[in-house]
Amino acid sequence: MFTSPLNQLRQSNWLASIPDTLTVPEIGGRPGRTLSIERVTVDELALALVAINEQHSALCRLCSALKEVHDLARKQGALGDENAVTAAARQLGERQ
């Protein structure tokens, strides 16, 4: 029985989440487009990875900022339904 190259890759645990499509962003005047992962070239994959890495970096910054708010609030003793931003601001104010 024939197994497609994509299915062969997906059978590996660490490659199981390969998407069906990949969005190649607009770059250098070339229009952005969504392609079947099975038709993507190495260069198209590289261009898509640039955009994905930018998204990843933005999510990491967001996660770090939210964790810092949480940690500051907890240092103020904030619990449960207390406002996290207010508590974090108090903690930050005490640092200065």
52: tokens are 């994905």
DSSP letter string, 68-81: HHHHHHHHTT--TT
> What's the predicted TM-score (pTM) here?
0.75
Kindly report, residue by residue over 26-64, the tens digit of the pLDDT: 988 989 999 999 999 999 999 999 999 999 999 999 999
Kindly state the percentage of the chain with pLDDT values over 70.
99
What pLDDT does residue 58 have?
98
Cross-strand bridge partners of residue 34? 23
Residue 12 has pLDDT above 90, yes or no: no
Cross-strand bridge partners of residue 35? 22
Residue 96 has pLDDT above 90, yes or no: no
